[in-house]
Structure 1
Amino acid sequence: MKRLLYFFVCFGLLIFWSSCRNDFEFSPSTGNLEFARDTVYLDTVFNNIGSSTYNLKVYNRSDEDIVIPTIQLERGINSFYRLNVDGGTGDEGTPQEGKIFENVELLANDSLFIFIETTIDISTQPSMDNEFLYTDRILFDAGSNQQDVDLVTLVRDAVFIYPDFQGNSTVFENLNFDVDGDGIVDETSLPGRFLDNTELNFTNEKPYVIYGYAATPEGETLTIEAGARLHFHADSGLLITNNSTLNINGTASADQDLLENEVIIEGDRLEPIFSDVPGQWGTIYLFNGSTNNSINYATIKNATIGILVEGNDDAPTDKLTITNSQIYNTSSFGILGRATSITAENVVINNSGQSSFAGTVGGKYNFTHCTIANYWNNSFRQFPALLLNDFTQVDESTIGTNPLTEANFNNCIIYGNDNPEFILDQQGTDFNFKFTNCLLRFDNQNLEGSENYIFSDATFYENNIFNEDPDFKAPFDNLMNIGEDSGANGIGANPFASQVPFDLLGTSRTAMPDAGAYESVVLDD
């Protein structure tokens, strides 16, 4: 009996309490919403390439639960923006989806998120040039209660280079070419296509956005003019094939922030959050058999491997000559050479997931007034800033060797946030190298004094400075200028400075040149 009485009392209290609640009684919005910002700037996007997702927080500061009659884009269903309101896209399957939302509820002293994306077709704006602002507004309610938040996006037109598709699928075709030099076309797993003759000159008129690997036909030259901008999608890059050549012809820039005359090569996401993210695209692949490749005044960033150079170490001319250039934020290697020949002057390489420069399987390498640094801090790295070896693993039980004909580092800085920052891994009998007037980081008691690390042997080491602070401006941000307190100051040799008389910024090298790609300056605090 007591249990039954207790049940009725509780049931009565529950009914009374429920009748007093107004949780589900929503009042119409009165135009007093507050917003985290009054304008949402969606960073620059390319024509027909989707943006990142941005958000806007909307607040109900009142003590009333409210309903917002409409949240919509001012351009309505024709807008290039898309909205998601607190996880919902509106009327799915209708033209209003992502554009118009009705009767949106918002509790007292609560907030909601609106997520915003865009994909803009520049062809619908015939009066616009290669770059224009696209705008719209998010309207909240109507009439006297209407409030709004502006949306602004800068859109750039570009030259788009796509591979062909496989039949009617959405899968790109792979490149087919003679990989092993036997005269037979081989199938590869690289998505891409060969450039036609009208595409072998990249200008600075519009940026280039490349999907897959843009490959040079055999015997052709790809020329990239000063001021050109190349943007690669994920798993994309350049492939310079047999008997073909790449010439990147950047020139010095007056504005070191704009780099207006340099050739800049990076990923295709323009938002600031992607500006320093490694591994966004593949590589510039100078394939075995390509010849006389040259790169001058280029900035290459955010690749998996900045430049992959392969083969031709016995050719009469260098496979690659790279000058006045910077390579940053590669998830694997800045420059990876395999049995090849490279000459580098005034080159800066930094922030690589493995080595900034690796000369592997022997070859021939000459670096003068270069800064080979590695201040990678995204993960553990296995290799030093500089790696040289003369072998390859043929199979589980066989190692094949190839002579390291020469590897000369003159007036260079080789440094980083690990120790040691150079490793010389010899397996064969022909292993030739020399460091002259360099600032080097090497403090390893287990290796020092062993073969290839006898620093008193002038055959291999001459006038070097070890483990002195290079005084980089901000190495984790790729600002590799050196200050007046740098251990590289005044240690360069004049014959090499005469070979490269100006630093990367055009500063004349004095009678007492500094090591590295930059002459020292008074650094800003």
Structure 2
Amino acid sequence: MRQFTFLFIIGILIALSSCRTDFETVASTGDLKFSRDTIYLDTVFTNIGSSTYTLKVYNNSKNDITIPTIQLGKGLNSKYRMTVDGTQGNQGKIFNNVNLLAKDSVYIFVETTANIADANPTDFLYTDQILFDGGTNLQKVELVTLIQDAIFLYPQRYDDGTTESLPIGNEEIYGFFLDENDPVNGNELTFTKQKPYVIYGYAAVPSGKTVSFDPGTRVHFHANSGLILAKNASLNVNGTTSTTDKMENEVVFEGDRLEPDFFDVPGQWGAIWLTDGSTNHKINHLTIKNAAIGLLIQNNNGTTVDIKNTQIYNSSNYGILAQTAKINGENLVVNNAGLGSLACTYGGDYKFTHCTFNNNWNSSSQVAVLVNNYYTGATPEVKDLTAATFNNCIIYGSYSNEMILNKKTGSAFVYQFNNCLIKFNNDSNQYTNNPEYQFTTDPLHYNAIIQNKDPKFFKIAENKFNIDNTSAAFAKGNATYLISLDILGNTRTLPPDLGAYQNKPFPK
């Protein structure tokens, strides 16, 4: 009986305490502590919402307190908005009587959507403050955002509610054709460095037209967006050598999330798609970052795709995926791809000189270089690989074998590696009798191969593939295949180094 009475009393106490929804508080005395005194919201494009940033507010006193007001300095006119302890307040701008227990804290989440016209015209900063309490108890946390103006390109929305789209095979995709006589933007086939561009959906270059990118152009693609070259359309990227680390003359294609957390996140946007029948593509000093496929190159109408002094990083699928294409690559660097940095598939004609192909993707299915002459399920399934030539190149990565040659009979399969450093281990002897991998005894396909030696790249994680004179690639090239300047415009000496970079002492 005594035990039953005790449990009954405990139950009543629990019920009474659970019914209490308020607690006694005292007014805040201006002694709040903050996780930071200024919140820097990273650069955003005009009228594009920012990421959400966090401020933690601490009550270090022994009293439960009430903060009379938490509000933005510009009140309801502020371009910032907040959530305080999970509540929205008055339009996310003003909050009254916020309770905070002793020795406890509350989270405030802040974001913004602002126009370039809202920013200070001299530095393009948009600022405000979070104000806590008022009078002699007033405390402030500063808010700062850099607003960047841009040219926005996107599909039209029609009066009937439908949106412009592109016919791709038997399907329609979200996209639009670039217009050389656009009434707002002018010639959309000529991209300049005056402002960055932000593209929504796939921007298509019409048949028979050429899209050009001037030195210093910056193009940002939204999720599931990219660039498509139609039949008989051409791509002309005209970047030039830069003199600083800001790559001021490089053309850059990347995603539209500018926050540091998205700096090296793969798969933020779609691809640069050179479709079957597109033609006469010339790419120089282009950097492609964080796409699903950096360059998707299909049968390019018998013409050569020239890719020079170009870098492709952090592709969720492929850096370059070529299908029955014809490519000439010089001073090309491709790193980190979910499946392959370079995939030359379904036959084609390829020549790469002084190129660096590396893959450190954390997956056993990744590879730096894949070459094959088939496409499963296609008609015909096999096509001629008339040439796959690699001169003075580096093929390396984090896994045992970073090169795959997949040959199907019934079609030509012509390949040659001259003066290349290749990571290819045969620890289990499974390739000992495979005729495609006889690096030391097959002069028809392999000459002066350096196998499984560390090129000692400067900083792989930062996509810096410079080498110095301690590298296994130092002075191992053949002058017959010399490209006189490296990817940075440095003069190569003789004998040249392998890969896209001429050796230099690493910076301190």
The TM-score bracket by the shorter chain reads over 0.9
State the match for 2:371 in structure 1. Answer: 388
State the match for 1:412 in structure 2. Answer: 393
Matches within 5 A, 1:246-261: 246-256=235-245, 258-261=246-249
1:442 aligned to 424, 431, 448, which one? Answer: 424
Q: Is 1:146 matched up with 2:106?
A: no
The answer to whether the Cα contact below 8 Å between 2:364 and 2:399 also exists between their aligned partners in 1 is no
Counterparts of 2:150 and 2:47, CA distance in 1: 10
Q: Deviations over 1:203-232 (max 9, x none)?
A: 000000000011011101100000000000
Distance 1:2 1:290, change over 3 A: closer
State the match for 1:292 in structure 2. Answer: 280
State the match for 1:323 in structure 2. Answer: 308
The answer to whether the Cα contact below 8 Å between 1:23 and 1:65 also exists between their aligned partners in 2 is no
Between stretches 65-74 and 505-514, larger displacement belongs to 505-514
State the match for 1:504 in structure 2. Answer: 487
CA positional deviation for 1:23: 7.5
Distance 1:350 1:4, change over 3 A: closer
CA positional deviation for 1:121: 1.9
Matches within 5 A, 1:153-168: 153-165=145-157, 167-168=159-160
CA positional deviation for 1:173: 3.1
Counterparts of 1:46 and 1:161, CA distance in 2: 13
**What is the SS of the residue equivalent to 1:459?**
coil
The answer to whether the Cα contact below 8 Å between 1:174 and 1:188 also exists between their aligned partners in 2 is no
State the match for 1:93 in structure 2. Answer: none
State the match for 1:210 in structure 2. Answer: 199
CA positional deviation for 1:191: 1.1
Q: Deviations over 1:213-271 (max 9, x none)?
A: 11011101100000000000000000011111110100111102x10010011000000
Counterparts of 1:416 and 1:357, CA distance in 2: 12
CA positional deviation for 1:449: 3.6
CA positional deviation for 1:400: 1.1
Letter aligned with residue 399 of structure 2: D
The answer to whether the Cα contact below 8 Å between 2:337 and 2:366 also exists between their aligned partners in 1 is no
CA positional deviation for 1:376: 1.2
Q: Is 1:189 matched up with 2:172?
A: yes
Letter aligned with residue 317 of structure 2: S
Distance 1:23 1:109, change over 3 A: farther
Counterparts of 1:122 and 1:5, CA distance in 2: 70
Letter aligned with residue 217 of structure 2: A
Q: Deviations over 1:409-462 (max 9, x none)?
A: 000000101121111101133100000001011112212441211221111001
Letter aligned with residue 210 of structure 2: T
The answer to whether the Cα contact below 8 Å between 1:39 and 1:150 also exists between their aligned partners in 2 is yes
TM-score, normalised to structure 1, is 0.90
Letter aligned with residue 140 of structure 1: F
State the match for 1:451 in structure 2. Answer: 435
Distance 1:4 1:323, change over 3 A: closer
Q: Deviations over 1:453-495 (max 9, x none)?
A: 1221111001111110010112122111113221111110002
**What is the SS of the residue equivalent to 1:105?**
strand
Counterparts of 2:360 and 2:125, CA distance in 1: 38
CA positional deviation for 1:7: 9.3
Letter aligned with residue 154 of structure 2: Y
Q: Is 1:121 matched up with 2:120?
A: no
The answer to whether the Cα contact below 8 Å between 2:275 and 2:300 also exists between their aligned partners in 1 is no
Counterparts of 2:7 and 2:215, CA distance in 1: 85
Counterparts of 1:83 and 1:173, CA distance in 2: 35
State the match for 1:136 in structure 2. Answer: 128
Q: Deviations over 1:284-317 (max 9, x none)?
A: 000111111111111100000000000136x1x3
**What is the SS of the residue equivalent to 1:482?**
coil
State the match for 1:175 in structure 2. Answer: 166
CA positional deviation for 1:174: 2.1
Q: Deviations over 1:122-155 (max 9, x none)?
A: 2455x737x6000000000011111000000000
Distance 1:31 1:432, change over 3 A: same
Matches within 5 A, 1:303-452: 303-312=291-300, 315=302, 317-318=303-304, 320-377=305-362, 380-394=363-377, 400-428=381-409, 429-444=411-426, 445-452=429-436
State the match for 1:283 in structure 2. Answer: 271
State the match for 2:221 in structure 1. Answer: 232
Counterparts of 1:168 and 1:115, CA distance in 2: 38
Counterparts of 1:108 and 1:7, CA distance in 2: 31
The answer to whether the Cα contact below 8 Å between 2:40 and 2:143 also exists between their aligned partners in 1 is yes
State the match for 1:183 in structure 2. Answer: none
CA positional deviation for 1:188: 3.0
Distance 1:63 1:312, change over 3 A: same
Distance 1:200 1:14, change over 3 A: closer
State the match for 2:466 in structure 1. Answer: 481
Structure 1 runs not aligned, ≥5 long: 91-95, 180-185
Letter aligned with residue 260 of structure 1: E
State the match for 2:475 in structure 1. Answer: 490
Counterparts of 1:6 and 1:190, CA distance in 2: 70
* Count of aligned pairs between the two proteins: 495
Structure 2 runs not aligned, ≥5 long: 181-186
Counterparts of 2:6 and 2:298, CA distance in 1: 86
Q: Deviations over 1:485-518 (max 9, x none)?
A: 2111111000211xx1011122111111100001
The answer to whether the Cα contact below 8 Å between 2:212 and 2:237 also exists between their aligned partners in 1 is yes
CA positional deviation for 1:97: 1.6
Counterparts of 1:441 and 1:356, CA distance in 2: 14
**What is the SS of the residue equivalent to 1:148?**
strand
Counterparts of 1:483 and 1:419, CA distance in 2: 24
Letter aligned with residue 440 of structure 1: I
CA positional deviation for 1:165: 2.8
Letter aligned with residue 146 of structure 2: L
Between stretches 454-463 and 442-451, larger displacement belongs to 442-451
**What is the SS of the residue equivalent to 1:144?**
helix
Q: Deviations over 1:84-134 (max 9, x none)?
A: 0111111xxxxx220000000000011111000001122455x737x6000
The answer to whether the Cα contact below 8 Å between 1:351 and 1:476 also exists between their aligned partners in 2 is no
The answer to whether the Cα contact below 8 Å between 1:175 and 1:187 also exists between their aligned partners in 2 is no
**What is the SS of the residue equivalent to 1:480?**
coil
State the match for 1:62 in structure 2. Answer: 61
**What is the SS of the residue equivalent to 1:77?**
helix
CA positional deviation for 1:167: 4.9
Distance 1:162 1:6, change over 3 A: closer
Letter aligned with residue 392 of structure 1: Y
The answer to whether the Cα contact below 8 Å between 1:354 and 1:381 also exists between their aligned partners in 2 is no
Distance 1:103 1:457, change over 3 A: same
State the match for 2:184 in structure 1. Answer: none
Between stretches 225-234 and 484-493, larger displacement belongs to 484-493
Counterparts of 2:92 and 2:147, CA distance in 1: 21
**What is the SS of the residue equivalent to 2:376?**
strand
Counterparts of 1:438 and 1:5, CA distance in 2: 86
Letter aligned with residue 437 of structure 1: N
The answer to whether the Cα contact below 8 Å between 1:356 and 1:373 also exists between their aligned partners in 2 is yes
Counterparts of 2:199 and 2:174, CA distance in 1: 11
Distance 1:134 1:426, change over 3 A: same
Counterparts of 2:85 and 2:253, CA distance in 1: 38
